[in-house]
Structure 1
Amino acid sequence: MAKGIEQFLDDNSVLISWPAKYTKKVQIMEYLSTKFEKDIVYDEQEVNLILRKWSSYSDYPMLRRFLVDLGFLNRDRYGKEYWLTEKKETNN
């Protein structure tokens, strides 16, 4: 887990609050991206279920878009299929 995001997670490592700082948001997205498996194609509902499991934050569509916008997840042009991006680890 990225160092410094513990304050945004509960004892079960579920996201309970959304940080104000952009760098912390990126670290949260990096953490949430670890909940997806390589070489698996997910539909939108499966992505939503994973995000709801690991976040009590109610705006999971925003979380999903943020994962895509930051390049942690890719999606097809129709938004029907999502998959984990091959991304280099950051040193945050």
Structure 2
Amino acid sequence: MMDMSNYRISEEEIKKILNVYFEGGRLKQIPKKEKKRMITLVYISKNFQKGKYYNEKEVNEVLKDIFDDFVMIRRYLIDYNLLNRNKEGTRYWVVDP
């Protein structure tokens, strides 16, 4: 898990990074640098409602519209503790910070 509080990031810097990596609401590529990747993943995670449970198909449907390799994005969201899932992988939810 990576904590955004480790970085000093201005709103302007966030907008600049998102403008580089997103076009028309779609992620062009996954950033290699950790800080930029975290910013893009936090942005993507905002497509999910807090307090709502999703099944894997629903998560995939949201992520397909954002990036072709939606499985990788789903994995990153879990690895970065932005989404959580049950042991069976049948329920997903937004992690409360």
The TM-score range, normalised by the shorter chain, is 0.7 to 0.9
- List structure 1 segments (4+ residues) > 2 angstroms apart after TM superposition: none
When Rg is computed on C-alpha atoms for both structures, the one with the higher figure is 2
Structure 2 gap segments, 5+ residues each: 1-10
Taking the aligned partners of 1:14 and 1:59, their CA distance within structure 2 comes to 11
Number of aligned positions between the proteins:
84
The residue type equivalent to 1:28 in the other structure is T
2:77 is the counterpart of 1:64: no
Structure 1 gap segments, 5+ residues each: 88-92
- 1:5-84 superposed matches below 5 A: 5-10=18-23, 12-55=24-67, 58-84=68-94
Structure 2 counterpart SS, 1:42 = coil
The residue type equivalent to 2:90 in the other structure is K
TM-score when normalising by structure 1: 0.83
Q: CA deviation at 1:22?
A: 1.4
2:96 is aligned to 86
The residue type equivalent to 1:40 in the other structure is K
TM-score when normalising by structure 2: 0.79
Q: CA deviation at 1:45?
A: 0.7
The residue type equivalent to 1:8 in the other structure is Y
Taking the aligned partners of 2:87 and 2:44, their CA distance within structure 1 comes to 22
Deviations 1:55-75 (A, max 9, x none): 2xx221111011011110010
Sequence identity of aligned pairs in percent?
Answer: 32
Q: CA deviation at 1:27?
A: 0.8
Deviations 1:32-62 (A, max 9, x none): 000001111000010000001122xx22111
